Amino acid sequence: MKNNQAQHDVETASKKKQSKKFAVIFGALVILGGGYGFYKYTEGQKHEDTDDAQISSRISPVIPRVGGYVADIRVQDNQMVKKGDTLVILDDRDYVVKLEEAQARLVSAKSNVSVAAAGSSVTETNVISSQANTGTIDAQIESAKVNLWRTQKDYERFQNLIKDHSVTQQQFEQAEAAYQIAQKQLGILNAQKQAAMKQTASVASQSGINRGQVAVANAAIAQAEAGIASAELNLSYTVILAPVDGYVGTVNIQPGQMVQPGQSLFQIIPDDKKWVVANFKETQLTKMKIGQHVTVTVDAFPGQKLEGTLTSFSPATGAKTSLLPPDNASGNFVKTVQRVPVRIDFTDKVSPDFLKKLSSGMSVFVDVHLK
């Protein structure tokens, strides 16, 4: 009986000790939890953070301006290139033929100009000759008018004299014949003048036509020269050059492949500028402002903290600028917290050599210091 009582007392004492120990541990956990919660609350008033963030950089696509078959590829994946380096060469035989055709059109246009200029020169000469001929006829008409006036006076005088039998009939008839010949001669000359004037007008019109042909031929030369410039430019585009300094991405083309103008062949990622795009919840933006200090931790370099500055907010949420933005008017509306892209630029304290180690798309953790 005494042994049972003693065992009961021992068990009771052990339970009391365990109860006290649990109470102590629970109390410690409550204190630690409360302290951690208070710490997180106070820190939350001073900081906003997110792990939905990535390294970003400029990406320059390599795009051909002309179509053709790939003849040669001069770069490989991840290769460093300089601006102006040859990346891809397209088969240029079609463009060489087009250039030769344009050059042939220029030769033909220049030949047409020579022919038109020669024709214009001939017509100008004919105009001068026709004008000179008209001038000669005018002089002859003036002479014929004088002759007509003289023969008319002789005829009138002989008419009076024949009445008095002062002249013979033969002399009168000679005077009359001379007067009639002078009239006819003047009429012939007037007719010749009209014909010469018409000829001059016709030659002058032809001269205008020839001058127009010269202008058209000169325009054809300008058009042919523009065609040559265009053909030379297209021929130069068959050699695709690097638009910027940077690293080549994955090259997804092969020799013999047909490419089209505007088709993206691959990309070049410059290493001269990098920044962070962090997607914060809209509820986190209340106290965030441009110019606030930011601490950035890159997952690939966990022990390295980088300093940055909040530089801009996106004017639209990520969902709104996506390929298929949600339509909340469809009837099945479920409110979700949206995320807004925020740009963060690194400060000058981050070395350029370290920035070169960062690849576009790397995940980072961002901590914005609100105060």
CATH architecture, range 45-60+269-369? Beta Barrel (2.40)
Q: What are phi and psi of 351, to 5 degrees?
A: -70, 145
- Inter-residue contact 241 to 86 (CB < 8 Å): yes
Fold exhibited by the domain 94-236: Helix Hairpins (1.10.287)
Q: What are phi and psi of 234, to 5 degrees?
A: -65, -35
Domain boundaries, the chain: 45-60+269-369, 64-91+238-263, 94-236
Q: How far apart are CA 214 and CA 315, in angstroms?
A: 60
Q: Which amino acid is at 159?
A: Q
Residue with tokens 């530089």: 311
Look up residue 318 and give its DSSP letter: T
**Res 346: pLDDT:** 94
**Res 271: pLDDT:** 78
Strands, sheet with 60-62, edge to edge from the N-terminal-most edge strand: 60-62, 266-269, 246-248, 80-81
Contacts 24+ apart (CB under 8 A), 132-141: 133/196, 133/199, 134/193, 134/196, 134/197, 134/200, 137/189, 137/192, 137/193, 137/196, 138/193, 140/189, 141/186, 141/189, 141/190, 141/193
Q: How far apart are CA 124 and CA 132, in angstroms?
A: 12
Q: How far apart are CA 108 and CA 105, in angstroms?
A: 5
Question: What's the first-to-final CA gap in the chain, in angstroms?
Answer: 73
Task: Name residue 88's beta-bridge partners.
Answer: 73, 240
Q: How far apart are CA 143 and CA 133, in angstroms?
A: 15
Q: How far apart are CA 140 and CA 148, in angstroms?
A: 12
Which of 166, 73, 236, 331 has its CA nearest to residue 175? 166
- Inter-residue contact 131 to 200 (CB < 8 Å): yes
Look up residue 358 and give its DSSP letter: P
**Res 12: pLDDT:** 66
Query: Helix (H, G, I), strand (E, B), or coil: what is residue 311?
Result: strand
Residue with tokens 């008839």: 173
Q: How far apart are CA 306 and CA 294, in angstroms?
A: 8
**Res 182: pLDDT:** 73
Q: What's the pTM value of the predicted model, to 2 decimals? A: 0.63
| Token duo for residue 12 | 């009771």
What tens-digit pLDDT sequence spans the chain (371 residues)? 545 566 655 566 666 666 667 677 777 777 777 776 655 555 556 889 999 999 999 999 999 999 999 999 999 999 999 999 999 999 999 999 999 999 998 888 877 766 655 555 556 665 566 656 666 767 777 777 777 787 777 767 777 777 776 667 777 677 777 777 877 877 777 777 777 676 666 655 555 555 556 677 777 888 888 999 999 999 999 999 999 999 999 998 999 999 999 999 999 998 778 999 999 999 999 999 999 999 999 999 988 899 999 999 999 988 888 777 776 666 667 788 899 999 999 998 888 888 888 988 999 999 999 87
Q: How far apart are CA 207 and CA 47, in angstroms?
A: 88
Q: Which amino acid is at 284?
A: Q
Rounded to whole angstroms, the maximal C-alpha distance in the chain is 209
Q: How far apart are CA 74 and CA 13, in angstroms?
A: 86
- Inter-residue contact 252 to 276 (CB < 8 Å): no
One CATH from 3.30.2080.10, 3.40.50.300, 2.40.50.100, 1.10.3720.10 for 64-91+238-263: 2.40.50.100
Q: How far apart are CA 348 and CA 202, in angstroms?
A: 83
Whole-angstrom CA distances from 191 to 138, 139, 143, 147 are 11, 14, 15, 17
Residue with tokens 């103008």: 261
Residue with tokens 């460093």: 80
pLDDT per position as a tens digit, 60-91: 999 999 999 999 999 999 999 999 999 999 99
pLDDT per position as a tens digit, 155-212: 677 777 777 766 677 776 777 777 778 778 777 777 777 776 766 666 555 555 555 5
Which of 70, 3, 46 has its CA nearest to residue 266? 70
Q: How far apart are CA 148 and CA 144, in angstroms?
A: 6
